[in-house]
Amino acid sequence: MHLLEHLFLAGEFAERARLLSGLTLEQVTCRPEGVSHSIYDELWHLVRYQQSVIEPGGTPPADPFPTAAPEHEDQWHQLVRVFLTGARAAADLGQEPARLAAELEPGLTLADELNCVAVHNAYHFGKIVALRLRIDAWPPRATDAS
């Protein structure tokens, strides 16, 4: 496993697909008292930032968090798929050293930017796990699928 795969998909803590597995619409939209964002909100934010870096010409979203909750559980599953596809794309960039070394702006390479995204993702995954613990949805069951 190369470094970006480790950072985006499987290393340092539980696999990202497992962290997002086995959740219902009710659970991902739950916002316990004193919490500013739901699990859905956290992943939505994480995905938008990740996509702004890995997609050509991507830009960060105007709204840092969603303005509406999903109405259907499939919207949650689609967001998980977008995250995992994007994380895989980011990890695959580890196979392209020349592209990673390219400067996005003076003094900032794509590798630097991807490292920033990985740290940002880790922060929000920590919040997702904390929310799962708070709503008694942790750990995911062994039979849960993403």
Q: Tens digit of pLDDT for each residue in 13-35?
A: 999 999 999 999 999 999 999 99
Domain count along the chain:
1
Asked whether the beta carbons of 36 and 96 are under 8 A apart, the reply is no
Measured over the CA atoms of residue 117, residue 13, residue 25 and residue 84, the dihedral's sign is: positive
pLDDT of residue 146: 47
> In which band, very low, low, confident or very high, does the pLDDT at 143 lie, cut at 50, 70 and 90?
low
Examine the pLDDT at 145 and tell me if it is beyond 60. Answer: no
Q: How large is the average pLDDT for residues 58-82?
A: 91
17: domain range?
A: 3-134
Residue 146 lies in a domain: no
Confidence label for 66 from pLDDT (cuts 50, 70 and 90): very high
Asked whether residue 104 is assigned to any structural domain, the reply reads: yes
For residue 126, count other CB atoms closer than 10 A to its CB.
Answer: 13
Whether residue 75 is contained in a domain is answered as yes
